[in-house]
Amino acid sequence: MRHLGIMILLFALLAVLPVSAADPVAHQPPFVVPLGPDGVQRATITLDSYSYTPGHLIVEAGKPVELTLTSVTTIVPHNFIIKEVSVEHDVRAGKTAVVKFTPAQTGIFAIYCDKRLWPLPSHRDKGMEGKLEVK
């Protein structure tokens, strides 16, 4: 009987742990953000629960980037954070926001949503993350 109790406890623990085994970003093809005739790199990103599409952006360093963030949710608010380029923007349900930045450094930086409904895992933990690749 003691073993049964431990088994139940283990299953309960597994059920509440955030699922981190699958990396949703790894399965997304990289998206090369097109450079406009005005020298601005523009793309539109769809925010849903819990994803960014496209989730892997490739941009050139030293040129301005303008991202239009479109939420397709009806209730859940999200945000869009890239710490390395000082971007942190809320996108309310069903709304659109525009973020602008010029990446100075090359590298691969995380894009994520840190919203959470306590005590649930954060949206990032639920897979709402992507990456910005600056070349």
Which of 56, 115, 126, 131 binds Cu ion (CB under 5 A)? It is 115
In the complex with Cu ion, the residue whose CB is nearer, 87 or 113, is: 113
Smallest separation, CB 78 to Cu ion (Å)? 3
Residue 113 touches Cu ion, criterion: CB under 5 A: yes
Asked if 78 is part of the footprint of Cu ion (rule: CB under 5 A), the reply reads: yes
Q: Is the dihedral of CA 20, 26, 31, 32 positive or negative?
A: positive
- Determine the residue type at 53: T
Rounded CA separation 54/43 (Å): 9
Between 64 and 77, whose beta carbon lies closer to Cu ion?
77
Interface segment toward Cu ion; rule CB under 5 A; list 30-38, 62-70, 73-81, 93-101: 73-81
Instruction: At 132, list the tokens.
Output: 């910005």
Give residues 3-62 in contact with Cu ion (rule: CB under 5 A): none
Q: Which is nearer to Cu ion, 68 or 106 (CB)?
A: 68
Residue of 60, 104, 110, 119 lying closest to 81 (CA atoms): 110
In three-state secondary structure terms, 15 is helix
Q: What is the DSSP letter of 63?
A: S
Give the footprint of Cu ion on this chain (CB under 5 A). 78, 113, 115, 123, 128
